[in-house]
Chain A
């Protein structure tokens, strides 16, 4: 997050990014991403959590150059890809790949898996036919798909296998950054676990940088180093994954955490349940002040009129809420009440935060 991070270490930098759709003259302007800033270091896994309508997918598409920003900057390794000509942009974004949610929609039903996986190389004009095939088979092996899958058609393989092939295809052009947009949402739990393991392994093998977008708190916190929580086009909280999940400092993060069903009966009993009222408001007429105020259990007068500023509360932890300091105080008191153990934990969280910088 900090500007002090060496630029040669930063893979992605997003500065006050805005992406809007629609026509302001007709009063139908939708600010899907509204002033988002963060940076992702090389080799880092950066998680983005949010509900539908929070703008997380729009953000993902903009990060790889599929959408142009309406304001602010996206810097790839210090370069602004949107300054390029169309042709240069197409060449440039080979190194910035996206894997999307629905593997069933990601493949041409009339092409075999091998043809689909070779396609990026065909378009880029890299290598001979034999080299492309060889690379495709190597990549299938990397994602644990057997070579016999290569000549099958998409309808002949399962959803999990398709998602693996999807990842193999994204890896074909040796990308620097991969944006994973809800890549495990459509899969069963046991396959989901397999897939998360695969992502972690590939990250080590290829030194990849991921932006991991999901609505699933468990998934994101499991795989990510740092996470950003989005609500209605804005980042409400950023920080080290474990710290954000364990001690949320924004009421929305806290509510998300509490809405996640708990398996462990002991932990479920100890936790306070917050059930948010209402739904995500209309995108055309966003609420005034803090955008979360219509659903926030801690809402007060100031929230309706004034938009909270994002500030750094603990090292590496940025929160945009008027009462974040208050929440931090509560959490600290509670952990002090839990005596030594809680205090040690708080300390560990803070150091972890500092390490991430």
Chain B
């Protein structure tokens, strides 16, 4: 594992600081790089949106933070600083003390994240008893209180039910109750509402943001839905092909994207205020991990691509940082005038 110098530049007000994170995974045909120099941070109580198409490395970043990848077939490099510790080099027992207690995660598909053979109440108690000295009775009481806090009507009854007895929206509520029961400092929510209907999605988002606000939990919110990011996040990061390509305050990025990929994502969403007609789309698709373009990874799909984009030295290394803490991984961002949404 690659170890960088021990100087931590992160100031006190950074909760999670990811610096030059790289991840390689092994399959039948050898090692392949999945994340390349990913750097971003989350402040306490902040809600950070991470957007990008499938295959861009959003979920892989989340799994790296919690070290949920198979140890033999994965290699992490760089640093993930959390509470003064570098999670990349933490032992498994140290991670067990962090997972669920200080950092917890909500997955997209609640049915596969819940254990079908235990009652939901028991599963919440298990999380509590793992991290706190509680007897069965106290744990049960707190689990019931947690179910109550996520708006479940008869929590004492629901605690005795199995996941299969619950609807999708209810299961996701249970997942949220479980993730927040220890009042963690960071919650990673990986597409928490994608499997749900829109009206239920609105309920769940409302609940999630309200609870996080009450417990002071920061959220790293992974989604492909830019509308949800615009509505609920403070800052956002766009990922493409295993790299961060743009980052900054949500309002600024949406009103004036600097990277053509972010702009493309914004415009490919149908908008009822816009006239019907051809939707601008992004041609092609995310490159395969084994055949990454040499220069800008978005180059082959980018309508602004020119000669300098093909040069490897131009984009690989540096992101550009400017005034309102915006970053962009595009050599030509100053020349491009990309259209945003809204004023």
Chain A interfacial positions (CB closer than 8 Å to B): 51-52, 158, 160, 188-194, 196-197, 200, 215-219, 221-223, 242, 245-246, 255-256, 258-268, 273, 275-277, 279-280, 295
- A sample of 11 inter-chain contacts (CB < 8 A) reads A51-B198, A190-B264, A190-B281, A193-B282, A197-B281, A216-B198, A217-B198, A263-B266, A264-B271, A273-B202, A275-B206
In the assembled complex, the Cα of A266 lies from the Cα of B255 at a distance in Å of: 10
Instruction: List chain A residues, Cβ under 8 A from B227.
Output: 260-263
Contact of B276 among A52, A222, A265, A295 (CB under 8 A): A222
Nearest CB in chain B to that of A221: its residue? B272
In the assembled complex, the Cα of A217 lies from the Cα of B202 at a distance in Å of: 14
What would 19 more interface pairs be, CB under 8 Å, given A51-B197, A258-B202? A51-B200, A52-B197, A188-B54, A190-B265, A191-B53, A193-B281, A197-B279, A255-B199, A260-B198, A261-B227, A261-B231, A265-B230, A265-B342, A267-B273, A268-B231, A275-B206, A279-B170, A280-B197, A295-B199
Mask, B246-283, CB within 8 Å of A = 1, is: 00000100110000000011101111110010111111
Inter-subunit contact A188/B199 (CB<8 Å): no
Number of A-B pairs whose CB atoms are under 8 Å?
123
Known A-B contacts A194-B281, A266-B343, A268-B230; the reply to A279 vs B269 at CB < 8 A is no
Interface membership of B216, Cβ < 8 A:
no
Q: What is the minimal beta-carbon distance from A25 to any residue of chain B, in angstroms? A: 26
Contact of A196 among B226, B254, B255, B279 (CB under 8 A): B279
Sorting the interface of chain B by its residue count into under 10, 10 to 19, 20 to 34 or 35 or more gives: 35 or more
Instruction: List chain B residues, Cβ under 8 A from A158.
Output: 285
Mask, B19-35, CB within 8 Å of A = 1, is: 00000000000000000
Contact of A188 among B53, B200, B273, B279 (CB under 8 A): B53
Inter-subunit contact B285/A276 (CB<8 Å): no
In the assembled complex, the Cα of A258 lies from the Cα of B230 at a distance in Å of: 14
Inter-subunit contact A190/B268 (CB<8 Å): yes
Known A-B contacts A189-B53, A276-B203; the reply to A200 vs B341 at CB < 8 A is no
Interface membership of B211, Cβ < 8 A:
no
In the assembled complex, the Cα of A259 lies from the Cα of B227 at a distance in Å of: 11
Instruction: List chain A residues, Cβ under 8 A from B54.
Output: 188
Instruction: List chain A residues, Cβ under 8 A from B225.
Output: 261
Q: What is the minimal beta-carbon distance from B318 to any residue of chain A, in angstroms? A: 26
Q: What is the minimal beta-carbon distance from B261 to any residue of chain A, in angstroms? A: 9
In the assembled complex, the Cα of A291 lies from the Cα of B56 at a distance in Å of: 42
B residues 189-245 in Cβ contact with A at 8 Å: 197-203, 206, 224-228, 230-231
**9 A-B pairs closest in CB distance:** A261-B227, A222-B270, A193-B268, A193-B281, A190-B282, A259-B202, A264-B342, A51-B197, A193-B279
In the assembled complex, the Cα of A158 lies from the Cα of B337 at a distance in Å of: 32
Instruction: List chain B residues, Cβ under 8 A from A192.
Output: 268
Known A-B contacts A51-B197, A217-B198, A263-B254; the reply to A189 vs B341 at CB < 8 A is no
In the assembled complex, the Cα of A268 lies from the Cα of B199 at a distance in Å of: 16
Instruction: List chain A residues, Cβ under 8 A from B203.
Output: 275-277
Instruction: List chain B residues, Cβ under 8 A from A259.
Output: 198-199, 201-202
